Amino acid sequence: MWRRGADSDGYVANFVETEQIIQLNGHIASFVQVRGSIPLLWDQIVDLTYKPKFEIIRHEEAPRVVDRHFLDLRKKYGNVLAVDLVNKHGGEGRLCEKFGDAMQHIAGDDVRYFHFDFHRICGHVHFERLSILYDQIEDFLIKNRYLLLNEKGEKVEGQLGVMRTNCIDCLDRTNVTQSMIGRKMLEFQLRRLGVFDAEETISTHHNFDESFKILWANHGDEVSIQYSGTSALKGDFVRYGKRTVQGILNDGYNALMRYYLNNFRDGTKQDAMDLVQGHYILSVSRSMTPTSQERGIEAIASFPLALLLILTGFFFATMSLGRVRYDLWNLLFSIMWASMSLAIAAFVRANGRLFCNRPRLHQPRH
């Protein structure tokens, strides 16, 4: 949650290249897809709410940042189809609108943009409706092909373009979608190699189908664990081909764990990443201290302490309320303690960012 969107050079958060490779009778075939955060300058800074607000900054730079991002993709991969899976309403809707507007300036023969409202069309269980998306992008996939080497290692086919998929964090919706595309392209490759006939699909071979699902489910979990700290949501559909009660319960648990990690652990994790990647250089002559000194309430803000004070206040308020029948002064004490708890709770809610585990060594720069 401490890295969203793009930086001023067009590099985006959670950019992942996935190459699906099959080797069969001396032939090698592969297919590459990429994912990455919406390439705008935007933040989603944790503030104790379940879904922090999206903040788009420096709107006027959006066309330049998008252009730089897709220029880099074109140099690396050729043609690009950007598939945007975010919602059309709410905070996601504002990002979607800005992304779509910026893409109008660079869309052409080698760059296409397509929006697919995943949650509206597929909901939380009907992921088979992704076939609607596939029907819209099949022409791009057929035209841009895949890599195929023969027994001598000679290139028979080359992949001429790449599909770039994004949702908000590029984890759950993205992985479900990419696994569907990977399945379709693998079927194309197997037909080309003479393994499948024209109507044959992976789902007609139980063991192969099961292995393919597990492969993509594990892949989605690995990307998600690295970025969010938990396994991917919606992973039961990728792993089993359907939503299950256990999968829905696991998603609920993982969603709560993500909330906890985002708010109370990821700041320190981001500091570790910044140290490893050299974004924060520790001088031999100085100690490892924050780049900017915290002052006032920032220096003492502590969610555990605030929670303890709130619970303590409600405890004494309840105790005093229970003794009102013996002494009316206890009513005043009960109101006083309850008011203190509510005041602290209101302050924490209004200043949620101060009570989260924030990066302290290197502040994000756009």
Identify each DSSP E strand in 36-76 by its residue range.
Answer: 42-43, 55-56
DSSP 8-state secondary structure symbol assigned to residue 137: H
- pLDDT at residue 280 in the model: 78
Classify 287 as helix, strand or coil: coil
Confidence at 275, pLDDT banded by 50, 70, 90:
confident
Classify 55 as helix, strand or coil: strand
Residue length of the chain: 366
CA distances from 23 to 30, 189, 223, 353 (A): 9, 11, 24, 50
- pLDDT at residue 305 in the model: 86
- pLDDT at residue 187 in the model: 97
- pLDDT at residue 81 in the model: 98
pLDDT at 340 over 60: yes
Please state the rounded mean pLDDT for residues 6-30: 95
Please state the rounded mean pLDDT for residues 134-155: 96
| C-alpha–C-alpha distance, residues 199 and 285, integer Å | 69
| C-alpha–C-alpha distance, residues 193 and 199, integer Å | 14
pLDDT at 249 over 60: yes
- Domain edges within the chain: 16-264
Confidence at 288, pLDDT banded by 50, 70, 90:
low
Closest of 83, 135, 85 to residue 112, by C-alpha: 83
Among 22-36, 55-69, 231-245, 281-295, which is the least confidently predicted range?
Answer: 281-295
Q: Residues 79-110: pLDDT tens digits?
A: 999 999 999 998 899 999 999 999 998 999 99
Percentage of residues of the chain with pLDDT beyond 90: 60
Please state the rounded mean pLDDT for residues 344-354: 89
- pLDDT at residue 364 in the model: 52
- pLDDT at residue 127 in the model: 87
Q: Residues 214-237: pLDDT tens digits?
A: 999 999 999 999 999 999 998 888
* Alpha-helix residue ranges (DSSP H) falling in 145-244: 172-192, 206-228, 235-240
Confidence at 74, pLDDT banded by 50, 70, 90:
very high
